[in-house]
Amino acid sequence: MTAYSGFRYLRYLRALCIGAMLAVASVATAKENGRITLFLDDERLELPLSAGHSDWTGSPGFAKVSILTRPSDVETWQRFQSLRLAFDLLRSRAQMPEMSLLRRTGDAGFERWYGRTDSGGLIVTVQDRALDGDVLRVSGSFAGQLGQSSDFGQTIDLSAPMQVSGTFEVTLLPIR
């Protein structure tokens, strides 16, 4: 009877190890990727997803999405540093969008720009959304105004706003 219990234990352990390997393999093959096309006043930028800094958290019906992009070429990097777009995704509708943008100035300093629905009228429209396991694919567009801020977006000065619009198409893994 003891040998039989040991055999069952080994079979159970083997099945558990195979299941763990398959789960790790499926997560390893899922890759974050995507792109944001950004229009700032009269400038157009194509920005790749910064996969290590973009993610989502939540459930199939409600998710918090955070998308970060950074330029991949030196010429763009010298003018523009990063863009973060975040919003709550309630089924297929974006709510409470926020955007932050970091740009270089002519004197090698930085300008910090921010926008929200209540400050700049930022609107995000979701065209497509799909959840496959824990991989979230979402695409859409955004438009609004950004203003400068010295306190990381707590207060936004819209006296000299910058028009912003664009599209996004990203594949995100859950927050790690």
Contact 89, 62 (CB under 8 A): yes
3-state helix, strand, coil in the chain (%, to 5): 20, 55, 25
Per-residue pLDDT in tens (0 to 9) along the chain, 176 residues: 455 555 454 454 444 443 444 343 334 345 899 999 999 878 899 999 998 899 999 998 899 999 999 988 888 888 889 999 999 999 899 999 999 999 888 776 889 999 999 999 999 999 999 999 999 999 999 999 999 998 888 899 999 999 999 999 999 999 87
pLDDT in tens, 74-102: 888 888 899 999 999 998 999 999 999 99
Contacts for 100-104: CB closer than 8 Å, 24+ residues apart? 100/152, 100/153, 101/40, 101/146, 101/164, 103/79, 104/78, 104/79, 104/80
CA dist 68 and 41 (Å) reads: 20
Amino acid at 164: V
At 69 the pLDDT is 95
Helices (H), the chain: 2-29, 74-77
